Amino acid sequence: MTNPDLSVALGSRRLRTLDQSSKLKNVLYEIRGAALDEAARLEAAGHTVLKLNTGNPAIFGFEAPYQIVRDMIAAVPTAHGYSESRGILAARRAIVSRYEEIPGFPHVDPENVFLGNGVSELITMTMQALLDEGDEVLIPAPDYPLWTAMTSLSGGTPVHYVCDENNGWNPDLEDIRSRITDRTKAIVIINPNNPTGAVYSRETLEGIADIAREHSLLVLSDEIYDRILFDDAVHIPMATIAPDLLCLTFNGLSKTYRVAGYRSGWMVITGPQKHAQGFLHGINLLASTRLCPNVPAQHAVLAALTGVQTIDQLVAPSGRLHEQRDITWEKLNEIPGVSCVKPQGALYAFPRLDPEVHEIRDDAKLVYDLLVAERILLVQGTGFNWDAPDHLRIVTLPEARVLGEAIERLGNFLSSYKQ
């Protein structure tokens, strides 16, 4: 309750307007954007909204693996102190072992593993440690928009390279080359990809590594979906392709282990380091300033990596995630004027709306109108730094029946939708 004396006092004083900092000018995160506020209003009014906007397995009936929960609970009574700023050694060792199992993955020292409150925190730390005003970072379009947002917030300039829908959404190497300047410092690779579901070919990864070598680029490889693969897709870690380059590989528990709310991720550093001492000291410094990641969740890392890998059943041909990916892809392609490249990994589909059939000028408005009419929340393609209003992203996490019905409703909605 408001203290009446205080409100009088405040009422007699002029308070300076508080605006957001200008650093946030280019920081966008449409996955939780304006449409989500409208969804919250609809829900408050008693409507049920099917929220296909975030890759959050927990809300679609994916339970946290039992051994992760059990070990975390067991750790809680003694996990109330700060840990080492990089993270507890046992968890870092478990991460080292995970990569030792991957043929060709360069040697990782536990000193070169950093745990974080999700990959998100590590992306922020990396960009803050790396970038000066005007430094450029190559980022895929479409992208997972946190990479673009954190590049901007850190004073850098995001430069988007195109991924080619006609080539399974693999990055276009010529386009990457054409965007390099003497300010280009790093290249971001998201593989398997959010939002397209692409799993990059060896040829593409080798091409990217060649470009990075030629221009001495730092390689930032976001591989958070590395075990969510369908059919014959094989994930090739970037560090195995470019062991001679400084490469930061990002991964965590949010997706493969389905405990996004525990906020637990890691980053491993491979390749030569002598030339990058300043940057790496910066990472250490920022790891220290955040004190440490959530300590109980670090025990979750240990349990997740050493236990049964339950994701394998979910992505197998009879598994839930596989079935959901199939129905999403099939149903989307049944809609007139909609086409979708078959996702080979991750938890999303990124269908195209043919502009000849669906004249969409404003894809955020399309998402809003779909929400109001059908109570289905998607994210517009431009929210992923895609430059045309002709794509949508759908999360493939709900049960197949729910997805099938939702996509049919999307099709009905589009059949009469005009802007």
Strands (E), 106-213: 113-116, 136-141, 157-164, 170-171, 184-190
Question: Is residue 192 a contact partner of residue 235, using CB atoms and an 8 Å limit?
Answer: yes
Instruction: Map residues 30-59 to x or -, x wherever contact with ligand PLP holds by CB under 6 A.
Output: -------------------------x----
> How many Å apart are CA 212 and CA 398, to the nearest integer?
38
In this complex, which beta carbon is closest to ligand PLP, that of residue 32 or of residue 107?
32
- Rule CB under 6 A: which of 373-412 touch ligand PLP? none
Residues 265-304 that bind ligand PLP (CB under 6 A): 265
Q: Is 260 in the site for ligand PLP (CB under 6 A)?
A: yes
| Nearer of residues 87 and 252 to ligand PLP, judged by Cβ | 252
Residue 251 to residue 115: CA distance in whole angstroms: 10
Give the whole-angstrom CA distance, residue 139 versus residue 159.
6
Tokens of 397: 């996490």
The nearest distance, CB 265 to ligand PLP, in angstroms, is 4
SS3 214: helix
φ, ψ of residue 19 to 5 degrees: the values are -100, 165
**CB closer to ligand PLP, 223 vs 323:** 223
Q: Which of 71, 136, 172, 222 binds ligand PLP (CB under 6 A)?
A: 222
Q: Closest distance between ligand PLP and the C-beta of residue 30, in Å?
A: 13
Kindly state whether residue 144 participates in binding ligand PLP, applying the rule CB under 6 A: yes
How far is it, in rounded angstroms, from Cα 412 to Cα 177? 42
Nearer of residues 196 and 382 to ligand PLP, judged by Cβ: 196
In this chain, which residue has its C-beta nearest to ligand PLP? 118
Among the listed ranges 38-46, 114-122, 229-237, 324-332, the one in contact with ligand PLP (CB under 6 A) is 114-122
Query: Cβ(185)–Cβ(215) under 8 Å?
Result: no
> Residues touching ligand PLP: how many (CB under 6 A)?
13
Spell out where 174-311 has E strands. 184-190, 218-222, 247-252, 265-270
Does the protein bind ligand PLP through residue 256 (CB under 6 A)?
no
CB of 279 to ligand PLP, least distance (A): 21
Q: Which is nearer to ligand PLP, 262 or 279 (CB)?
A: 262
Contact 349, 396 (CB under 8 A): yes
Task: Name the one range near ligand PLP by CB under 6 A: 115-123, 164-172, 299-307, 372-380.
Answer: 115-123
Which residues 6+ apart lie within 8 Å of 231 measured at CB?
344
Footprint on this chain of ligand PLP (rule: CB under 6 A): 55, 118-120, 144, 190, 194, 222, 224, 252, 254, 260, 265
